[in-house]
C-alpha cells in the first residue's frame, strides 16, 4: 500500500502530461521512486509531505480525474516510515527534506544547484518495522501492480529494478497476458474519452473481470463494474433480438473495464471498490454512462464483425444448454443445502460478512479445516465476530477434469460453495479471506492441493482477486518459566532456544488437533501468518492443473524427484 500511494502521485503527473518515465527501485525494505513530472514546488516541499490538505489535488480542476485524490498519500507514507526523504527538482535547482516517523530530521533551507537534472520528484522510504514488523516486497505483487499502471496509461514507461513495463494497446494487452488459454474470438477492444473496455470468452467457468477507476485497480469492483455487466447483457440481447439469460451471456467471459470520473468516492483508503453513483458533479450516472456507451460501441462493433457475432451467439447458446442440463442437479443440491442450513455442523458462521457495511467486513474470514479436532480448536479460539469455520470430513474429491456438475453432486463441495455464496460469481462473496487450515504434513499438503484444484477449476477468480490463503501454523513451541515463543521454522526455533537459555523446553507440533484452543488464539489473532495463493506466470491454469493433477508423465516424475523432501519426525517434547 505504501508503494502504491507513492506511485499514484507519479501517475497523476503523467496523466496531466508531465513526465513519461517512472523509476522504481527496491532493495530489501529500501524503496526509491523517481518521476519526471513538474516536481513539488520547492517552497512547499515540507508541507506537502507532512501537512494534510496541502496538495493541488484538492482543486478538482487541477487533478480532475486523478488517482490520489485524498491528498494524504505521501503524508501517510511519511508517518509510517522509519526513514522518509523527499527531493524535488525544478528548473535546475533542488531541495530535500528528511523525516523519521513523520518528524523532520533535516531539511535544506536553501535551493541547491541541480544543473542537468530533469524536473520531477524523488521519494525514498523504509517502512517502519515497529509498525509493520518484518516485511518484504514480493516481486510478483509489485510487478502485477506496475503492469496494471502500464496497461492503464499507454505511453508510460515504468522501470522496476531495471525491468521495463510498457503497454501499447492498453486493456487489450492486459487480456492477452491474463487469458487462460485461447480466446474464442478476437478480443473486442472499445475505447473513448473516459472509458476503455476489452473482453472475450474462453472455456473457463464463471466470470473474470479486471476493473479500474482513474487508473486504480478496483479489485472489489463497484458501481462501474455492475453497470458494465448490466450493459453488456442488455446490448447483446438487443443485438441478437433474443431474450438470453444474463448468466448465459456472461459465463466464461474475461473482461477489463476502465473509466475516468471526477472526484471518485471509494469505500476505503485502499480504493478497491467504487461507490460513486455519478460520473461527476454535473455528469450522468455511472450506470447511464456505461449503458449508453456500450450499447452504441458494442452494437456497432458486432455489426461490423459478423464472424465474431456468430461465434459469440453460439457460445451463449452452449452456455444456455449447459445451464439447463445442470438445473435438475442444482435443484436437488439447493434442497439439500436448505435442509442442512439449520443443522449444518460443517459451518460455524461469524457475525460480520464481506457484503455488509460494517467496519470490520474486510476482516471476515472462513477457515477451511479437516477433522473435528482441528475445527474444534479453531472454533473455540476464533473471533466470533469475523471468523467462521468450515469443517471437511476428510480429503475432498480430486475435481480435476470433472465438469461443474460435481460442484452440485458432491455434498461437501456444494455446501462449501453455499457457505461462500459464490455460485453466481464473487459479487456476493461472504468472506474477504478464505483460509485453508490443514496440518503441515503430507496429508495436510494433499488436502491443500485438492482444495486449490477445486477453486482453480471452478472459481479461479477467488484466487486471482487475492482471497485464498494458506494458514501458517507453528512447528515448535519453545519456552521457559517466563517466556513462550512459537516458531515457524528451524531458524526461529534456534533463536528462541537462545532467548530461553539455559534450559528451554521445546515442543514439536505434529498437527492442528494437538494445539489447544488457548494456544490457537495466538496463531489466528493479530499475529496471524497467511501465505497468499498466487497464480504464477508462464503457465495457464489448464496446463498447470494437467501437469500437477492429471495423468502421470515423465516430466511430472522428474519434477517430484527433483523437489522431493524427506522429513524426520522430531521428539514431541525436548528439554535442552
Domains in the chain: boundaries = 2-165, 171-322, 344-473+516-537
DSSP code for 67: S
* Helix (H/G/I), strand (E/B), else coil: 426: coil
Torsion of CA 45, 51, 56, 60, to 10 degrees: 170
Which pLDDT score, from 0 to 100, does residue 70 have?
46
Which pLDDT score, from 0 to 100, does residue 60 have?
47
Q: Which CATH number fits domain 171-322: 3.30.230.10, 3.20.20.70, 3.40.640.10, 1.10.420.10?
A: 3.30.230.10
Helix ranges (H only) for 382-504 are 405-409, 411-420, 442-458, 460-464, 490-499
Distances from the Cα of 35 to the Cαs of 7, 23, 55, in angstroms?
9, 6, 17
What does residue 107 show for φ and ψ, rounded to 5 degrees? Answer: -155, 150
Which regions in the chain score pLDDT beneath 70? 53-72, 268-270, 336-345, 537-539, 564-576
pTM: 0.74
Which pLDDT score, from 0 to 100, does residue 415 have?
87
> Do the domains spanning 2-165 and 344-473+516-537 agree at the CATH topology level?
no
Which pLDDT score, from 0 to 100, does residue 447 have?
92
CATH topology of domain 344-473+516-537: Rossmann fold (3.40.50)
Identify whether the C-beta of residue 185 lies closer than 8 Å to the C-beta of residue 201: yes
CATH topology of domain 2-165: Heat Shock Protein 90 (3.30.565)
- In DSSP terms, which residues pair with 81 in a beta bridge? 127
DSSP code for 570: P
Identify whether the C-beta of residue 350 lies closer than 8 Å to the C-beta of residue 386: yes
C-alpha cell read off for 185: 474470438
Amino acid at each position: 500500500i505504501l508503494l502504491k500511494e507513492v506511485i499514484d502521485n507519479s501517475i497523476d503527473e503523467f496523466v496531466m502530461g508531465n513526465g513519461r518515465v517512472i523509476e522504481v527501485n527496491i532493495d530489501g525494505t529500501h524503496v526509491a521512486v523517481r518521476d519526471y513530472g513538474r516536481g513539488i514546488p520547492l517552497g512547499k516541499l515540507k508541507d506537502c509531505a507532512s501537512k494534510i490538505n496541502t496538495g493541488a489535488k484538492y482543486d478538482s480542476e487541477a487533478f480532475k480525474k486523478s488517482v490520489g485524490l485524498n491528498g494524504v498519500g505521501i503524508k501517510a507514507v511519511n508517518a509510517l516510515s522509519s526513514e522518509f526523504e523527499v527531493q524535488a527538482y525544478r528548473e535546475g535547482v533542488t531541495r530535500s527534506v528528511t523525516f523519521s516517523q513523520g518528524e523532520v530530521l533535516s531539511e535544506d533551507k536553501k535551493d541547491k544547484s541541480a544543473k542537468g537534472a530533469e524536473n520531477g520528484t524523488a521519494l525514498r522510504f523504509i517502512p517502519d518495522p515497529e509498525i509493520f514488523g518484518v516485511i518484504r516486497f514480493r516481486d510478483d505483487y509489485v510487478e502485477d501492480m506496475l503492469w496494471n499502471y502500464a496497461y492503464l496509461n499507454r505511453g508510460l514507461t515504468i522501470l522496476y529494478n531495471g525491468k521495463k513495463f510498457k503497454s501499447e494497446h492498453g486493456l487489450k494487452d492486459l487480456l492477452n497476458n491474463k487469458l487462460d488459454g485461447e480466446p474464442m474470438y478476437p478480443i473486442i477492444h472499445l475505447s473513448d474519452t473516459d472509458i476503455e473496455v476489452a473482453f472475450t470468452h474462453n472455456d473457463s467457468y464463471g466470470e473474470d473481470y479486471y476493473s479500474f477507476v482513474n487508473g486504480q485497480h478496483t479489485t472489489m469492483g463497484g458501481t462501474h463494474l455492475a453497470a458494465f455487466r448490466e450493459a453488456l447483457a442488455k446490448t447483446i440481447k438487443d443485438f441478437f433480438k433474443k431474450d438470453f439469460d444474463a448468466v448465459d451471456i456472461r459465463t466464461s467471459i474475461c473482461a477489463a473495464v476502465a473509466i475516468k470520473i471526477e472526484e471518485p468516492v471509494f469505500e476505503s483508503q485502499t480504493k478497491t471498490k467504487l461507490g460513486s453513483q455519478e460520473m461527476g458533479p454535473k455528469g450522468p450516472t455511472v450506470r447511464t454512462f456505461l449503458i449508453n456507451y456500450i450499447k452504441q460501441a458494442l452494437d456497432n462493433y458486432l455489426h461490423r464483425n459478423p464472424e465474431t457475432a456468430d461465434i459469440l451467439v453460439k457460445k451463449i447458446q452452449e452456455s444456455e444448454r449447459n445451464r439447463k442440463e445442470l438445473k435438475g442437479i442444482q435443484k436437488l443440491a439447493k434442497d439439500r443445502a436448505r435442509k442442512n442450513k439449520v443443522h449444518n455442523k460443517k459451518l460455524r458462521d461469524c457475525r460480520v460478512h464481506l457484503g455488509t457495511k460494517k467496519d470490520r467486513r474486510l476482516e471476515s474470514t472462513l477457515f477451511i479445516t479437516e477433522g473435528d479436532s482441528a475445527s474444534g480448536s479453531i472454533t473455540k479460539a476464533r473471533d466470533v465476530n469475523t471468523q467462521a469455520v468450515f469443517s471437511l470430513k476428510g480429503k475432498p474429491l480430486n475435481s480435476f477434469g470433472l465438469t461443474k456438475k460435481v460442484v452440485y453432486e458432491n455434498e461437501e463441495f456444494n455446501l462449501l460453495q453455499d457457505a461462500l455464496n459464490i455460485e453466481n460469481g464473487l459479487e456476493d462473496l461472504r468472506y474477504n479471506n478464505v483460509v485453508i487450515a490443514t496440518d503441515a504434513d503430507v496429508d495436510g499438503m494433499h488436502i491443500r492441493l485438492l482444495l486449490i484444484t477445486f477453486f482453480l477449476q471452478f472459481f479461479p477468480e477467488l484466487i486471482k482477486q487475492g482471497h485464498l490463503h494458506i494458514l501458517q501454523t507453528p512447528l515448535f513451541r519453545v519456552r521457559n518459566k517466563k517466556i513462550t515463543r512459537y516458531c515457524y521454522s528451524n531458524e526461529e526455533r534456534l533463536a528462541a532456544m537462545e532467548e530461553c537459555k539455559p534450559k528451554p523446553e521445546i515442543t514439536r507440533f505434529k498437527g492442528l488437533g494437538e494445539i489447544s484452543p488457548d494456544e490457537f488464539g495466538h496463531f489466528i489473532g493479530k499475529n496471524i501468518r497467511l501465505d497468499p495463493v498466487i497464480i504464477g506466470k508462464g503457465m495457464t491454469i489448464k496446463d498447470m492443473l494437467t501437469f500437477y493433477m492429471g495423468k502421470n508423465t515423465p516430466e511430472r516424475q522428474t519434477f517430484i524427484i527433483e523437489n522431493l523432501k524427506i522429513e524426520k519426525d522430531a521428539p514431541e517434547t525436548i528439554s535442552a
